[in-house]
Amino acid sequence: MTSDKSQQYIQRGELKLLTGNANTKLAESIAKSLNTSLGEAEIEKFSDGEIKIKINESIRGKDVYIVQPTSSPTNDNLMELLIMIDACRRASAGYINAIIPYYGYARQDRKTRGREPITAKLVANLITEAGADRVITMDLHAGQIQGYFDIPVDHFTAIRLLSEYFQDMAYDKADEFVVVSPDLGGVRRAREFSDYLKLPIAIIEKRRPMPNVSEVMSVIGDFKGKSAILVDDMVDTAGTITNAANYLIENGAKDVYIAATHGVLSGSAIERLENSKVKEVVFTNTIELPEEKKIDKLTQLEIGPLLAEAIHRINTYESISGLFEDVQ
């Protein structure tokens, strides 16, 4: 951080960084980039499984940032976040900022048939009612979820970070590489990725007979003889993305890479990725992965410094609109 620049701005209050159990390594990375330490908080469980949280230092009037993606175990991590927000509110924190790098329950963002919930809106209501003043998140499953909140939402994307990873390999090599969207809904994301690398784009047309199951119908665009980079917001069970990768290889692609912000990796995802024809899988560390999921073909990119810069700018009332070119 540039201290001479930050002195031009008035702070919202002393910055205090807290974390739940969901991604402590990311919180430590953010703290290191901010040249600060994590706040003292105890997170335990009662014998019946209820979550017990105690903050062991004063946060009265302070600008508090809580790092807690709502990844698996989703319900526990969500409740940790809500309880920690409530604890900060009752401790008279000046501002409460929820840093949710991965926003769970986002896939039910609208009603597609009768008697369905909209869980993305429900969770937004819970976070707001708990007492959060601001939400900082990355690559929501659907951009409109920002509008479900009645508090400010800073929605960043990891597209630039992911594309920079491939820059030395693929930049301006239109004859050798192609960026592929795994479905029609991800075209904008793939277009932004391809614009950074100056590569052509292809689109997979698929259908979903049931959740987490997909069938490739056709591919719009030229991919034969090229290395394909499949770009998505998340990889969950990896069924859809590995089906797409295998289809591309079987129909003429040279090799396939996967680039996604969130590595959810539930169920048989790791087995599918290992057994697929994918050459490399690149995620960010919005979700902390256990050692057994860190296979050789998987690479995680560090987003701690980026989130730290966002926190610094919010705390000092600096503009964050130029932090990433793709800030929403």
Residue 48 assigned ligand-binding role: yes
Residue 108 assigned ligand-binding role: yes
From 16, 206, 224, 279, active-site residue:
206
Residue 238 assigned ligand-binding role: yes
Q: Is 206 known to be catalytic? A: yes
The terminus-to-terminus CA distance of the chain in angstroms comes to 23
Helix 119-130 × helix 74-90 angle, to 10°: 30
Residue 107 assigned ligand-binding role: yes
Closest CA to 64 of 45, 43, 44, 81: 81
- Order of strands, sheet of 153-156, starting from the edge strand that comes earlier in the sequence: 15-19, 63-67, 95-100, 134-138, 153-156
Closest CA to 18 of 104, 91, 106, 121: 91
Residue 232 assigned ligand-binding role: yes
Give 268-273 contacts, CB < 8 A, sequence gap 24+: 268/237, 268/238, 269/235, 269/236, 269/237, 269/238, 270/238, 270/295, 272/237, 272/238, 272/239, 272/242, 273/235, 273/238, 273/242, 273/297, 273/298
How far CA 78 is from CA of 70, 82, 123, 289, 306, in Å, comes to 5, 6, 9, 17, 23
Residue 239 assigned ligand-binding role: yes
Give 72-76 contacts, CB < 8 A, sequence gap 24+: 72/264, 72/266, 74/104, 74/105, 76/21, 76/51
Cβ(61)–Cβ(94) under 8 Å? yes
Residue 141 assigned ligand-binding role: yes
Cβ(257)–Cβ(249) under 8 Å? no
Residue 308 assigned ligand-binding role: no
Tell me the H-state helices in 251-315.
269-275, 304-315
Number of H helices, E strands in the chain: 10, 14
Residue type, 44: E
CA 257 to chain centre: 19
Positions marked active-site: 206
Residues contributing to the annotated binding site for D-ribose 5-phosphate: 208, 232, 236-240
Residue list for the binding site? 48-50, 107-108, 141, 183, 208, 232, 236-240
- Binding residue positions for ATP: 48-50, 107-108
Which residues belong to the annotated binding site for Mg(2+)?
Answer: 141, 183
